[in-house]
Amino acid sequence: MLNVYRLDNNRVIKTISSQNCESYIMKSSHSPRHEDFFPYPSSREGQKEMMGVIEEAVRDGKDICIEAPNGFGKTCTTLCGTLPWIKENQGKILYCARTHRQLDRVVEELNVISERNTEVSGISFRGRSHMCLNEFVLENADYVASVSEVCGELKTNGRCPYYENLQKIKDPEQLLENLPKRVFTAIEIVNVARARGMCPYEMAKKLVKVVDVVALSYLYVFDPFILESFMPEIDTAMKRVILVQDEAHNVPTTALDSASDALTMGTIRQAMREAASYHDKITQKFCKGLAETILDNSVDLSDEDEKVVSPNGIYESALKTSEIDEEVMPLHHMEDLGKKIRKSQLKAGKFPRSAIFKVATFLQRWIHLSKREDYTFILSSMVYGRRAKRVALEIVALDPTTITGNVLKMIHSSVAVSGTISPIYAYSEMLGFSGQSINQVFKSPFARQNRLCFIIDGIDTSYKNRSRGLFSRMVDHCVAVAHATPSNTGIFTTSYYIAQSLINAGLSEKLKKPLFLEKQGMKGSENDELVEAFKRHGENQGAVLLGVQGGRNSEGGDFPGSDMESVVVVGVPYARPTPRIQALIDYFDVRFNGRGRDYAYVLPAMTRAIQAAGRPVRKLDDRGAIIMLDQRFGTPYLKRFLPSWLTEITQIVPDNPSIIAEQLDAFFTRPQI
């Protein structure tokens, strides 16, 4: 038998029999390849290989997990690797990310690609609350969960002119052809729709059916309820869908969050008031018994505390306390009442919200899941705002693969990419990828001479070692780094408590540069103003931004060039040991062959630290210094969680701020490559 080999970068990647040779050659000669989409005159080191590996995996229907550092050009490379197959097979790319900025970034790269290949189309998709033009909805935007139901009522009764205008266009292809271009951000869709008096959200839904790429939030894919309603809008067989998971290190947590739920005492009390207004004695009595049961079980909890509870025990205690017979079936009674309340509110033109319905449906799920080993059931107490106390029952999911695995079974293949996904086999497992999936790590394209990483020996920020002397020493290191950096410096601690401890130890007084403090509970708009003010100092002797690892600035912030030339990562951000963390460790021990502590406790902490470390190195011509202010980062146990782009530039240096300052001064004054 004659075999024919197709070569890509001098590697054999496909073997076919002689009887299929002629048809294969005919097909391949006309099939699009990643080179047909790459829009730039030249590629960075590793990009061609990554595009080829992705294209090969997608053509073979395999899932692939890739680690590539910041500045690699992952978004463009991933799009170019996936577009050939979906264009050839009339498929669709669902490109998932966490933030609106990341979604718009996908569309920005797709716009550049479309200039090279004019047949490429795509949009970034957002929910109704972000795209609606109807004043009635906008005035009630706080109740986002009910927007879809209100829209349904308005559409049914012909009360939304924006929707009615769009219905005149029956063919989505015709709609796309009549638009000024083929690639749009969500904001651009809103502007186009407003100019035409049409509903932006419904316009986006029509475009979803006919474009090649849809950039959208993780929740549209990993929340089972949202996915069920969104799938028909795709209008593409799921076996012709490629799922891209951008910043894939966030996916396991996102999947767990989407499968979890909470019922607060505030909602239960609201249900009691709602029941009183409808003169419903059964609901009043049951909710009162449930509230008393929860309060009785929470008397031993401190302000920031939680404990595992028996789901059936809580429900049975509520029945006993309320003196309601189980034969009355109070939860079914409450669900029916809640549905009637919501329906009547819709008819009256109000938002359909019912606390009774929430209590009933939560407890039905609470009981239904009670025997599942991949869930734990928590009673929590926490303080927020102005010392307001929140007591809640929580359904806590433990297995991300129960969510991700179901999605992977439906689609053709998935591409998971991140700059912080070490060790890659761990994330591949937690994403639900099979043993047949591909894992590949790409090296940093940055010149090593432009990057520097020090791990400070002799500093250990673990709880047992904390003292005034330690915080004072940490401040000396932070000040030495900031003063040796020509422009801006970021300092990211393990918690707001540690950040405040650095201030108490004299950070503000010792710094000769302005200090910008990220505060707990800060509104998004306030944080944006803070960051913009901080960045303005980059070209003028610099400033210092003090925040936390895992916060919006250490993970979502982008600080190229002088916006942040050095970063100090203060401590290993291990989660506070809690019953839910222990439940996750215990479950992962069974689910992932004894790797419970690694996967559930250490890996999330290291991911947060590495995300913070990557802030100053965003573009190829950036130079950045990373200071890991905790000797534990240099231990063999934790070094295995560091990505290659960090380990290749890491040095362990003694606890001496003067030496650090000298080394940084030399680094920043030598010629940049």
Cis omega (within 30 of 0) on the bond before 400?
A: no
pLDDT of residue 293: 96
| 126, HSE (Cβ side, Cα atoms, 13 Å) | 22
Per-residue confidence band for 38, with pLDDT thresholds at 50, 70 and 90: very high
Q: pLDDT by residue (tens digit) across 217-245?
A: 998 999 888 888 888 889 999 999 999 99
Cβ(57)–Cβ(37) under 8 Å? Answer: no
pLDDT value at 141 more than 50: no
- pLDDT for 101 equals 81
For 43, the token pair is 């590629």
Give strand ranges (E) for 476-514: 489-493
Q: What's the pLDDT tens digit per position in 605-624?
A: 999 999 999 888 766 677 88
- Tell whether the model's pLDDT for residue 514 goes beyond 90: yes
Residue-wise pLDDT tens digits, 368-398: 999 999 999 999 998 765 556 789 999 999 9
Q: Report the C-alpha gap between 136 and 568 in whole angstroms.
A: 47
Indicate whether 425 and 470 sit together in one domain: no
pLDDT tens column, 569-599: 999 999 989 999 999 999 999 999 999 999 9
CATH number at residue 316: 1.10.275.40
Identity of the amino acid at 561: G
Q: Exposed, middle or buried by CB within 10 Å (0-12, 13-18, 19+), for 659?
A: middle
Spatial separation of the C-alpha atoms in residues 257 and 266, rounded to whole Å: 21
Identify whether 231 is part of a domain: yes
Statement to judge: residues 333 and 188 lie in one domain: no
pLDDT in tens, 657-671: 999 999 999 999 887
For residue 544, the surrounding DSSP H or E stretch is: strand 544-548
Per-residue pLDDT of 263-276, as tens digits, reads 999 999 999 999 99
Residue 154 lies in a domain: no
Strand order in the sheet with 650-653: 515-517, 544-548, 489-493, 566-570, 624-629, 451-456, 650-653
Query: How large is the average pLDDT for residues 451-480?
Result: 94
* Chain segment 499-509, per-residue pLDDT in tens: 999 999 999 99
pLDDT value for 134: 75
Rounded to whole angstroms, the Cα distance separating 350 from 339 reads 14
Q: What is the pLDDT of residue 149?
A: 63
- Given a contact cutoff of 8 angstroms between Cβ atoms, the answer to whether 572 and 631 are in contact is no
* End position of a domain, from candidates 327, 362, 397: 397
Q: Which of 495, 292, 265 is nearest to 389 (CA)?
A: 265
DSSP 66: E
Check residue 26 and give its pLDDT. 38
Q: Are residues 526 and 611 in the same domain?
A: yes
Determine what percent of the chain falls in helix, strand and coil, rounding each to the nearest 5. 50, 15, 30
| Three-state secondary structure call for residue 537 | coil
On the question of pLDDT at 173 being above 50, the answer is yes
For residue 533, give the amino acid letter: A
Q: Is the pLDDT of residue 349 over 70?
A: no
What ranges make up the beta strands (E) of 18-156?
A: 64-67, 92-97, 122-124
Would the pLDDT of 146 be above 90?
Answer: no
| Separation CA 77–CA 112 (nearest Å) | 12
Same structural domain for residues 344 and 490?
no
Spatial separation of the C-alpha atoms in residues 322 and 288, rounded to whole Å: 7
CA distance readout (Å), 352 to 161, 224, 343: 21, 22, 7
Residue 533 in domain? yes
Residues 641-670: what's their mean pLDDT?
A: 92
Residue at 151 is within a domain = no
Residue 334 forms part of a structural domain: yes
Q: Are residues 463 and 384 in the same domain?
A: no
What's the whole-number mean pLDDT along residues 109-122? 93
Q: Is residue 142 part of a domain?
A: no
pLDDT of residue 63: 96
Cα Dmax for the chain: 82
Between these two residues, 424 and 135, which has the higher pLDDT value? 424
For residues 86 and 198, give the distance between their C-alpha atoms in angstroms, rounded to a whole number.
Answer: 30
Out of 108-112, 207-211, 442-446, least confident range: 442-446
pLDDT for the residue numbered 128: 77
Q: Which of 353, 360, 338 is nearest to 287 (CA)?
A: 360
Domain match, 469 and 539 both = yes
pLDDT of 13 over the 60 cut: no
User: Can you tell me the mean pLDDT for 155-159?
Assistant: 71
Indicate whether 189 and 320 sit together in one domain: no
Contacts of 278 (CB under 8 A, 6+ apart): 337, 341
Are residues 181 and 94 both part of a single domain? yes
Q: What is the DSSP string of 597-637?
A: HIIIIIHHHHHHHHHHHTTT--STT--EEEEEE-GGGGSHH
Nearest one of 260, 490, 531, 483 to 393, comparing CA atoms: 260
Share above pLDDT 70 across residues of the chain, in percent, rounded to a whole number: 90
CATH number at residue 639: 3.40.50.300
Domain final position from 416, 441, 466: 441
Average pLDDT value for residue range 638-666 = 92
Radius of gyration, alpha carbons of the chain: 27
pLDDT over 50 (residue 8)? no
Average pLDDT for 396-423: 93
Give the tens place of pLDDT for each residue, 260-310. Answer: 999 999 999 999 999 999 999 999 999 999 999 999 999 988 878 999 999
pLDDT value of residue 79: 97
| One-letter amino acid for residue 484 of the chain | A
Whether residue 2 has pLDDT greater than 60:
no
pLDDT of 145 > 50? The answer is no
pLDDT of 521-555, one tens digit each?
888 889 889 999 999 998 888 999 999 998 888 88
How far is the C-alpha of 160 from the C-alpha of 170, rounded, in Å? 17
Of 441, 459, 493, the position where a domain reaches its end is: 441
d(CA 50, CA 35): 12
Q: Quick check: 603 pLDDT over 70?
A: yes
Q: How many CB atoms lie under 10 A from the CB of residue 80?
A: 30
Same domain, yes or no, for 282 and 198?
A: no
The Cβ of residue 346 has, within 10 Å, a number of other Cβ atoms equal to: 19
pLDDT on residue 620: 67
| 153 located within any domain | no
Do 519 and 573 share a domain, yes or no? Answer: yes
Residue 283 lies in domain: 261-397
What is the tens place of the pLDDT at every residue in 58-101? 999 999 999 998 778 899 999 999 999 999 999 999 999 988 88
Count of structural domains, the chain:
4
Task: Tell me the pLDDT of the chain averaged across its residues.
Answer: 88
Q: Give yes or no: residues 296 and 246 share one domain.
A: no
Better-predicted residue by pLDDT, 164 or 486: 486
Range list of β-strands (E), 81-152: 92-97, 122-124
Residue 288 lies in a domain: yes
The owner of tokens 């292809």 is 173
Given a contact cutoff of 8 angstroms between Cβ atoms, the answer to whether 489 and 567 are in contact is: yes
Of 59-63, 212-216, 560-564, give the lowest mean pLDDT range: 560-564
- Could you give the CA distance from residue 397 to residue 260 in angstroms, rounded to a whole number? 5
Cβ atoms 411, 241 nearer than 8 A: yes
Q: Looking at the structure, tell me whether residues 470 and 581 fall in a common domain.
A: yes
